[in-house]
Chain A
């Protein structure tokens, strides 16, 4: 079966507004420099790299929140890299995104119900799926009437997840979705993602700067460094025998639990 995503020669450069001259266009800075990779159906791919390595930019290109400067993004065989918004709209149900900061990604003046139903209504799907999505992420249906600020951080992030899965997409991009949570909520959200991937046969791209978070969840890992892929390998192999120098550096930064180590 063909890959769900097949990306070739992906370049993204953005206008640098801080150095924009008074007249004329701002200079462009390259963020991603020719990425080529594929994501197979049912794969859970980790995208890791340091801050500023271009993970979010790559993610946003995959769900077409930004248009790449060059390259192809085949989604289920169709090149979406330069599709205009109207042509993209019917496809959008199929690739969804969970955002890092649920306080910013959930409209503060809408109830959870409104937030979950709006995308369903846009695609003509049954609104009852809003409640079902809450079931799936383990939140009581009564929360439909709540506002985001009436929920805890972990609950908010579950609402973000519910919004994405309610559309029954083929692909979900999760951009640093646990980095704002405390350790126990992190573990719960990760466990939830594992269940959802299985139950909904999702394809997931999981962005994180933290390899230890990715280790548990992902089948394959792509390591980004300064806008380039430095390593792309199955998770087990990457952790056992990292090839790139940069990957070894990231791995050595993971604090390993060592019971013999004295506290100092």
Chain B
């Protein structure tokens, strides 16, 4: 027992020291939580230098997977941890954290700076109920990547990919078209783009009611047909972004829908395949497709002890110079339109016009504070894609998304 008591006392004695922000030098520390990004330290150091002694940015690295990142952030925020200042949020978390009162609204001069020159689609992901809760940092859209040595003309629709795959299979050539079909956010991303490409939405405007309807039925039919076609990789139900990328690099697949990072990866892993590695707009269901929209925004924690400094740091971390570093060195597409025009972007981003075009019609995921529940439900119901029964799956989706929106019911 004495050992236990001692442990408690020791922990109690250590806690204040471990939790206080502010270094030995007396310069306030701004704790910045970001997903793993190779050159983020360099970006933060530049901003610390520009702050000229007003603050010092400390970079904290979150886990690699989005669920792990969200988990760590919300656990700390739920405990009112003052050791968080600037938070890098996935575009789908804005509503949840804003509604819970964990992130601060951006107003006045700070908001003006965050909005100025920012592309419309990414900016929209930082809004909740018409208020700005974060400053867009990076964005992302998926494109169709294909091997021009196997496929001379890129298909414009999923049906087109299936037809090409059947042709290639008959000729005994690599024919898989990779898509993120595992039971995780990637499956939701796919479904959302399919529904929006078919002219519908998962949720109605306002995000409190289910929309779905005939476009969703159409989307489910195409997904099922795709999952049971020659285009489907046998491990479709276990494919994440990286497995899709590797299947093309390994020569097993002819296509993939994926984020632009696959281009840089191909350039370094398989430079001999790069000349035939081409991109095209995201495939559609009937008309043109609408790309999934990704990216990250910077928010300021409610529990930050230096909010004004945190806003300032966040603005520097996402200014044109920082975004250029992130784009060129880490392959993350900028949210400031002007950065795309920078001459230094031409070589690493030959597909930059395709990205800008896709950003005009991209398919953002539904906005709701219960996005996590909605997403978990959708991926559980749609997995594995080959088992989708369009009509009955739609009924199930409608029912369980509706429960999830009210944070009713149980998550699988």
Partners in one complex: no
On B, residues with C-beta under 8 Å from A are: none
